[in-house]
Structure formats: structure tokens, C-alpha cells
Amino acid sequence: MINAKEQFKIIMKGVSQVINKEDLMEKLEKSITTNTPLVVKLGLDPTAPDIHLGHSVVLRKIKQMQDLGHRAVIIIGDFTGKIGDPTGKSKARKPLTDEQILENARTYEHQVFKILDRDKTELKFNSEWLSKLNFQDVIKLASKVTVARMLERDDFENRYKNNQSIGLHEFFYPLMQAYDSVELEADIEMGGTDQTFNILMGRTLQKDYGKDSQVALFMPLLEGTDGIEKMSKSLKNYIGICEDAVTIFQKTMTVPDNLIIKYFELATDIHPDEVHKIKLELENPKINPRDVKMRLAREITTLYCGKSEAEIAEEHFKTVFQKNLIPDDIDEFILSLDCCVKDDQIDLTKIMTKSGIAKSTSEARRLIIQNAVKIDGKKFSDFLMPNPHISFVIQVGKAKFFKVKIEN
């Protein structure tokens, strides 16, 4: 088993805050002495089932701890989902139905195991124990916390001050999450920095119930490919972990240079010493950041699509973008498969008109006939393309590039 100090170093990579370091070190040492893996807890709210690199940050950290021998418990907050996490929200959420929760949970499960080690992971639904609590148990739970403490939470405080209503039931979200930690006897709870209040409540509540307090491990939020906003599907600055290798590779290559190290820290499992070396490389003026980013793209693509897919994606990228001098920050059009399919093949003229590359079908046909159109850097003079051909760059003339993505 790797010694506690080395484990500590690996766990601390990229972490934004830990409460507290002494407890973490102590837990690691005890784990080694007693040969007992630590229980690493992550609670997931079954509301946003499309996992992207932003969500992967905590999951990758858990995977790193699994590689060190520890055990993960993923809580699907099916019971909690019935309330809706009010974290950071200015209004009470609509509760989910049982069907929605179950469907989201299945999608989650599928995606989570693209990152975590299945053999070292338990997946649990918190309804297992929360649904068994009766009124008296709930009263006991509620008695452990004061109203003032609840109103200290930023979002509650703001809503209270601004006369926006807070349903009394919303106070139970942090309590339920905290009670999960009591039930699991969690050693470490993972979360984003927006989870500080809830995770620290778990720490307190475990003590109130006579258990050892968990270590709270907070990961920073990851900016999306635009380098500015938090990665999010709605902002279209995301890299989805279920996307194809070519897309993951290409999207990673659009990440701004100043985020390369942060991505290495948060989106890969590369050892902190190695990340440190990469940082030094980047500071070397002789090194082209693009080459370092190629390594980042390869690392991330390999994590989700495997080594050979990643190599193909890299080759494709080199062919399309580098050999043909295609810039990598070109506009992307996302089209639905329905609107561009013809006789089971993809109709290029439809793509060109739908995306605005050509003003009309006749103009699109003319451009194709004139050999003015390249697909992924190669001249293309047919109107139909084999299907599926889901992500490619279309070039018209010498200077016009558009990325096209076709979705089902």
C-alpha cells in the first residue's frame, strides 16, 4: 500500500479546500494501520444526467482514491430529489416524480462507471434509509440544528432577506444529505465548493450521532472550453464524457492555453509530480503550448474512449486541422439527423443550406460541382455522404471553415 504521505499528495492534487488536512492525514494513516479502505462518499442529485468534464472533476478524484485502495459510495439522492436541492437556487425546485428519478439514476449509473472502478464502488439510493425514518426520527434529526444555522447558508439567507419564500421542507435537504453520511459512516465526502454548507453539516451531524466526522473535500469548478464560464451544457462550452473520440479531442484542443494545467489537474489522473513537470515545460518559451495541449487531449480522450480511439482521433485532428491549416476555433453547427438525411445517406446540400454555408440548394449544388467544398480537408464532389458521418469540418473555398455536428 502506498504510504499516507504519498496518498495525501495525490488526493490533494487540484483540491480547492479540505476540512481539514490533519483529519485527512489521520484517516489515511489509520486506514493503512488497520488495513481498512476509507469510505469516500459522493451524493448525486438525480436531476442532470449528462455528465461532462465539469462533473467529472469529483468523480476523477474518487477514481484516484480508488486506485489508492479506497472504496466509493455513490448516493443517488432519489429521496432527496423529491424535495429538490435548493443550493444556489433562488426559488424552490419542483419535486421530481419517482419515474423521472429512476430514469435519471439509470443514466447516471451508466455514465459514472465510465470513470469509477466498478469493483470498488457501491451505488446506493438514499431512500433506502431515509424512507424508513418516522416522524420521531425526523424530529431528532431536526433537533440537531438551529434555525439560525440554516439561515446562515448563503442562498437561504439571501432569500430570507429578500422576502422570497423558503419552504420549511427545503431545510431538510442539507439535513438529509448530512444524514446520509451518518448512515454510511463516510470518511470523506466529495463535492464542489457550492456544497460547503451541506458537507460540513454532515461533519457536524456524524459527531452528534456519535460517529467519526468525515473529511470534507471540495473540488474547484472547471471552466468550459470558452475559458470563462463554468462548464455547462446550456452554455455549449462543455466536453461530454460520452461524446465520440474525435469530438472530445477536438473540443479539448479549443481549451485556452491558460487552462491547460487546470485541466491536467482536474480532468486527468496524471500524478501531481508529472503535472508539475508539464507546468515547467509550459513555462519554457521553446515549447509550443499546442503540443502540450495535444497531450492533454490525448489523455482525456484515452480516459473516455480508450487508447486506440484516442490515437485515431489524434491522427484525424492532425490531418484535418494541422495538415490543412484549419484553425481550431471555428464555428460549430449542430444539426439534427432528421433534417439532413436522404435515402439513408446524409444530404450535403441540406447541411450547407441549414447551416447557412449556402444560401440555397442550388448554390450548394453549384459549389459542390465546382469542387469548392472540402470535407475534413479532402475535396468532396458528391451530394450525398455516407451515414453516419457525425462530426466533420466543411471548408468552402480557401478561408471559410465550419464545424458540423449531427445529432440524433
Binding residues for ATP: 233
- Stretch touching a second copy by CB under 8 A, among 15-23, 43-51, 76-84, 286-294: 76-84
Q: Is 284 in the site for a second copy (CB under 8 A)?
A: no
Helix segments in 228-288, DSSP class H: 245-253, 260-267, 272-283
Closest approach, Cβ 267 to a second copy, in A, equals 37
Nearest to 36 by CA among 12, 82, 1: 1
- If the CB atoms of residues 168 and 280 are measured against a second copy, the closer one turns out to be 168
Q: Which residue has the cell 441549414?
A: 354
> Please, is 61 exposed, middle or buried when counting C-beta atoms within 10 Å of its C-beta (0-12, 13-18, 19+)?
buried
Contacts of residue 71, Cβ cutoff 8 Å, sequence gap at least 6: 37, 38, 39, 40, 120, 121, 122
Least separation in angstroms between residue 208's CB and a second copy is 12
How far apart (Å, rounded) are the C-alpha atoms in residues 45 and 104? 9
Minimum distance from residue 161 beta carbon to a second copy (Å) = 10
Interface with a second copy, residue 156, by CB under 8 A: yes
Site membership for a second copy, residue 146 (CB under 8 A)? yes
Figure out which of the listed residues 79, 263, 304, 317 binds a second copy, where binding follows CB under 8 A.
79
136 forms part of the interface with a second copy (CB under 8 A) = yes
Q: Which of 109, 3, 15 is nearest to 62 (CA)?
A: 15
DSSP three-state, residue 9: helix
Which position among 88, 167, 388, 397 is part of the footprint of a second copy (CB under 8 A)?
Answer: 167
Task: For Cα atoms 154, 157, 158, give the angle at the middle one, nearest 5 degrees.
Answer: 85
Nearer to a second copy (CB atom), residue 79 or residue 317: 79
Residues 287-346, interacting with a second copy (CB under 8 A): none
Cβ distance 216 to 196 under 8 Å? yes
**Under the criterion CB under 8 A, does residue 228 sit at the interface with a second copy?**
no
Hey, what's the cell of 196? Answer: 460547503
Nearer to a second copy, 138 or 261 (CB): 138
Query: Closest separation between CB of residue 79 and a second copy, Å?
Result: 7
> Cα–Cα distances in Å, from 42 out to 47, 84, 122, 165?
15, 17, 11, 29
Q: Minimal distance in Å, beta carbon 204 to a second copy?
A: 13
Q: Does 197 bind a second copy (CB under 8 A)?
A: no
Q: Which is nearer to a second copy, 173 or 249 (CB)?
A: 173
> Which residue number, 86 or 192, has a Cβ lying nearer to a second copy?
86
Q: Using CB under 8 A, which of the segments 18-26, 57-65, 101-109, 148-156 binds a second copy?
A: 148-156
The answer to whether the CB of 189 falls within 8 A of the CB of 181 is yes
User: Please, which residue, 63 or 153, has the CB nearer to a second copy?
Assistant: 153
Residue 54 C-beta: closest distance to a second copy, Å: 30
Distance CA 65, CA 59 (A): 10
By CB under 8 A, the count of residues binding a second copy is: 33
Beta strands in 283-385 (DSSP E): 332-336, 341-342, 345-347, 373-375, 378-379, 384-385
Among 5, 17, 122, 139, indicate the residue that binds a second copy (CB under 8 A).
139
CB closer to a second copy out of 161 and 286: 161
SS3 403: strand
- Decide: is 125 part of the binding site for a second copy (CB under 8 A): no
Judged by the rule CB under 8 A, the positions of this chain that interact with a second copy are 79, 82-83, 130-140, 142-143, 145-148, 150-151, 156, 160, 163, 165-169, 171-172, 175
